[in-house]
Structure formats: C-alpha cells, structure tokens
C-alpha cells in the first residue's frame, strides 16, 4: 500500500477520525483495507482552512468552482465497489482511471490501493490544487491531466477500474471501451432534477453487467475544459 507521508501535517484528533470510521461501519462499509486508508488519509488538508474543522463529518463540502469533496461514505462505497472481492493476496489494482480529480481526496484514497492511477480534471485551478495536495502527501503513483473527463485517457487504457466523481446523463461510451475485461466502472448517472443512481458496471468480454448501488447526488459531468 502506498501510504501517505504525514510528516509535518497537522493532525485532527484520533477520536474525530474514529467517529467517521464508526459511521462508515454503521452504513455498511465492510472492506477493512478501505477503512484503514480512510482512517489515515488527512481529509482536512483537502479543504480550505475555514472548513477544515468539518473534515471528518460524513458530508460533502464545497471546494470552489461549484464543486464539492464527496462525503466519506460515498468515497468509501465507490472505492469498495471497484475493489470488489479482491483479496489482499491479489495485491493492488494495477491500473485505475479517475474522472473528476477535484481537490484530490478520492485520488489519494484510491492511490493507496492501486499500483498506478491516471486522473482527469476539466477545471484547471482545481487540478493544480489537487496536485499540490498529493505532493504534500508524497503520493507518487498518480499521473494527472487537464482534459474532458468523458473522453477518459485512452492511451493508458485499458483500466482495471474506473471511478467517476461526476454524473453524466448516460455512461460515456469512451469509458466503457477503456475498461479492461473483468474491469469495474463505478459512476453516478442521471440528472440533478430527475435523480441519480450510482452504478457498478462490470465488463465481461463485450458484455457490460450493470448494478445499481445507491441513490446519490453528484455534480454533473460537463464536457470540455475550463481554464478560469
């Protein structure tokens, strides 16, 4: 596991973090590798100082540019879903694609459970913030770029797992085509008004098996890039 370097980073109380983990357990998260990573990943550094005291509440919080950091339960649920029944003996996920880097929190979590992570963000200032946060934690197995996330990152596919942190109206075909045989895609789909569902899509050859995991509320997946 790629453990973040926490030297010199202000730590919140262990009691606060344990309350978050207890909440995740109560809501059904069972994968202890995921729970251990979320216990040790300092969520507060991904937030502006004014909100850092709320970092370990199980809620989404604003990170600027009309975007949010996902609530811990959603991060844990998505991470657990892409891992599936993978045992510790099987090792880390070899290749993971993330759509919607945001401030880098989900990136930091999955990077500790994967050998390599490629992440795409359409909002340039957020990507720069995420890069600073990941550098602060000495996360070195992540490659990032500023681009339209719906296109994926085809030159580095196929991917064993894909996580999307924004909701398209329909699953982008480019993401399906970049999923490896046996790979798992976790993505929210739907509209803010019409409701969204978190889907798990597993590829078997040319067949894609879909399972609804949760009702969710994500920011929309927009096309194109934003410089600001």
Catalytic residue among 60, 70, 144, 150: 70
Of the candidates 53, 58, 43, 62, the one whose C-alpha atom is nearest the C-alpha of residue 105 is 43
Whether the Cβ atoms of residue 133 and residue 108 lie closer than 8 Å to each other: yes
- Rounded to the nearest 5 percent, the helix, strand and coil shares of the chain are 35, 30, 35
Alpha-carbon distance of 138 to 215, in angstroms, equals: 34
Alpha-carbon distance of 159 to 94, in angstroms, equals: 8
Q: Where are the beta strands (DSSP E) in 34-141?
A: 61-64, 67-69, 93-99, 114-121
Q: How many helices (H) and strands (E) does the chain have?
A: 6, 9
Q: Residue 128: enclosing H or E segment and its boundaries? A: helix 124-136
Residue 12: CB partners within 8 Å, gap ≥ 6?
42, 44, 55, 56
Kindly state the tokens that stand for 87.
Answer: 């045992």
- Clarify whether 135 is annotated catalytic: no
Residues labelled as active-site residues: 70
């Amino acid at each position: 596991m790629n453990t973040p370097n926490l030297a010199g980073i202000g730590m919140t109380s262990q009691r606060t973090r344990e309350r978050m983990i207890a909440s995740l357990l109560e809501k059904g998260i069972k994968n202890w590798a995921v729970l251990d990573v979320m216990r040790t990943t300092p969520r507060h550094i991904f937030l502006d100082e004014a909100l850092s005291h709320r970092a370990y509440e199980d809620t989404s919080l604003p990170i600027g540019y009309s975007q949010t950091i996902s609530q811990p339960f959603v991060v844990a649920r998505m991470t657990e879903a892409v891992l599936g029944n993978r045992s510790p003996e099987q090792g880390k996920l070899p290749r993971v694609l993330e759509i919607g880097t945001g401030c880098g929190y989900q990136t930091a979590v999955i990077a500790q459970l994967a050998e390599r992570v490629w992440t795409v963000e359409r909002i340039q200032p957020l990507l720069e913030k995420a890069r600073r946060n990941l550098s602060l934690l000495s996360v070195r197995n992540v490659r990032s770029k500023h681009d339209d996330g719906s296109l994926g990152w085809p030159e580095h596919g196929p991917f064993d797992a894909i996580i999307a942190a924004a909701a398209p109206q329909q699953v982008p075909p480019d993401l399906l085509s970049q999923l490896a045989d046996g790979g798992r895609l976790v993505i929210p789909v739907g509209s803010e008004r019409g409701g969204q569902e978190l889907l798990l899509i597993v590829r078997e050859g040319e067949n894609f098996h879909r399972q609804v995991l949760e009702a969710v509320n994500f920011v929309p997946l927009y096309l194109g890039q934003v410089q600001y």
